[in-house]
Amino acid sequence: MTRADYYAVLFAALLLPYLYISQWTGDEAGINATIMNGGETTQVSLAHDHTYEIDGALGTSIIKIEGGKIRFAASPCLGKQCIHSGWLQHAGEFAACLPNRISVAVLGEEPRFDSINF
């Protein structure tokens, strides 16, 4: 390797942590959340504590809002991945109960992602 190659590797090694921190760490707190149930969309505020019971394809999912965070508290699906996703509080975070056709997305001032595909 030449001296220029060493400089290029060093430059890349120093640039990667900066890019990771500036592009991937969105710590913006969520303001609102969108609860999607099949074709219906409901926007809720994260400022007030509340519990929602949403009827889906399999049964009723319970979604809780506490302290500016939102989560699936209970759901009738088998894998319970929606519940295991835990509390969502940053803009751009997303949880879904696909068998029950219910999803939750946290919204902020600026969107973190252009789109999310499954």
Domain residue ranges of the chain, discontinuous segments joined by + = 32-107
The second-level CATH assignment, the architecture, of 32-107 is Sandwich (2.60)
For residue 83, the one-letter residue type is I
For the cut 90, the answer to whether the pLDDT of residue 52 exceeds it is yes
For the cut 60, the answer to whether the pLDDT of residue 16 exceeds it is yes
For residue 6, the one-letter residue type is Y
d(CA 12, CA 49): 46
For the cut 90, the answer to whether the pLDDT of residue 114 exceeds it is no
Distances from the Cα of 96 to the Cα of 13, 85, 104, angstroms: 36, 9, 6
At residue 55, the 3 state secondary structure works out as strand
For the cut 90, the answer to whether the pLDDT of residue 92 exceeds it is no
Query: How is residue 8 written in tokens?
Result: 């290029």
| pTM confidence score | 0.71
**Per-residue pLDDT at 31:** 87
d(CA 76, CA 82): 10
H or E, element range at 43: strand 40-45
Query: How is residue 79 written in tokens?
Result: 């894998």
Provide the edge-to-edge strand list for the sheet that holds 69-74.
50-55, 60-66, 69-74
Contact between 52 and 44 (Cβ < 8 Å): yes
